């Protein structure tokens, strides 16, 4: 998946939606239409194209490969889940890389994933270096001492990309800030315009 600023702008313009997880705001401010010489012409969407667009929003925002998304969908559909899209969002929002991003410790999900892989994040007091880990309700997330001096973290904390959602909260334990997953998130926590009905189809 391309990571450059222009590529991230193109992705957001293609789906017509700001995707906060990509960490590059302003993609639609100057050119709120798809990239390419015919981008500013009115497009007719087929039902399939509309459904595909919702899937692409989810995939790009959470920085997932197609294979990864399919695995999460399979997990969400397992068991007796009545609303599997709601369960899917619950899994994606509780991924460690996303939680680090939503707590305001990183400017994007990709940057959060790097913090995790470099050993800067603790879960329940232990270092975890896999961003795809899905955390349980009650899990506590904290920064290592080194991460607290990291310029990426400091800049993200000064200007968070999003407000912290209500399924998370921050506490202080032993003089240290700790993020806590206090509830299981659902589709209402997706931080962009998202049609779960189209995605289900």
Predicted confidence (pLDDT) per residue in 132-157, tens digit = 999 999 999 999 999 999 999 999 99
> What mean pLDDT comes out for the span 153-175?
95
Of residues 1 and 175, the one with the higher pLDDT is 175
- Is residue 87 a part of any domain in this protein? no
- Kindly report the pTM of this predicted structure: 0.85
> Hey, which residues does 180 pair with through a beta bridge?
140, 169
Alpha-carbon distance 24 to 32, whole Å? 14
Predicted confidence at residue 43, as pLDDT, reads 53
> What mean pLDDT comes out for the span 71-89?
88
- Is residue 165 a part of any domain in this protein? yes
Predicted confidence at residue 82, as pLDDT, reads 75
| Contact (Cβ atoms closer than 8 angstroms) between residue 126 and residue 85 | no
Predicted confidence (pLDDT) per residue in 89-148, tens digit = 999 999 999 999 999 999 999 999 999 999 999 999 999 999 999 999 999 999 999 999
- Is residue 187 a part of any domain in this protein? no
CATH (domain of 162) = 3.10.290.10
Long-range contacts of 167-170 (CB under 8 A, 24+ apart): 167/93, 168/99, 168/102, 168/103, 170/103
* Alpha-helical segments (H) within the chain: 5-15, 47-61, 66-77, 84-93, 96-102, 109-117, 151-158, 196-200
Q: Is 58 exposed, middle or buried (0-12, 13-18, 19+ CB in 10 A)?
A: buried
Number of domains within the chain: 2
Average pLDDT over the chain reads 86
Asked whether residue 50 falls in the same domain as residue 125, the answer is no
* Residue-range definition of the domain harbouring residue 127: 92-181
CATH (domain of 1) = 1.10.1050.10
3-state secondary structure of 90: helix
- Provide the greatest CA pair distance for the chain: 58
């Amino acid at each position: 998946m391309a990571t450059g600023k222009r590529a991230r702008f193109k992705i957001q313009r293609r789906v017509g939606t700001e995707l906060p997880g990509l960490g590059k705001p302003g993609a639609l401010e100057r050119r709120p239409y798809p990239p390419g010489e015919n981008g500013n012409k009115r497009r007719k969407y087929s039902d399939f194209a509309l459904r595909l667009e919702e899937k692409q929003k989810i995939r790009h925002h959470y920085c997932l490969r197609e294979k990864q998304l399919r695995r999460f969908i399979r997990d969400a559909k397992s068991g007796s889940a009545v609303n599997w899209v709601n369960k899917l969002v619950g899994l994606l929002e509780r991924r460690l890389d996303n939680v680090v991003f939503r707590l305001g410790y990183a400017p994007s999900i990709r940057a959060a994933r790097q913090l995790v892989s470099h050993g800067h994040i603790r879960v329940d007091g232990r270092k975890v270096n896999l961003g795809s880990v899905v955390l349980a309700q009650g899990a506590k997330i904290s920064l290592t001492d080194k991460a607290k001096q990291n310029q990426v973290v400091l800049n993200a904390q000064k200007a968070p990309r999003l407000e912290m959602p209500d399924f998370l909260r921050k506490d202080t334990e032993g003089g240290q800030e700790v993020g806590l997953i206090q509830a299981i998130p659902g589709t209402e926590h997706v931080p962009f315009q998202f049609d779960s009905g189209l995605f289900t189809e």
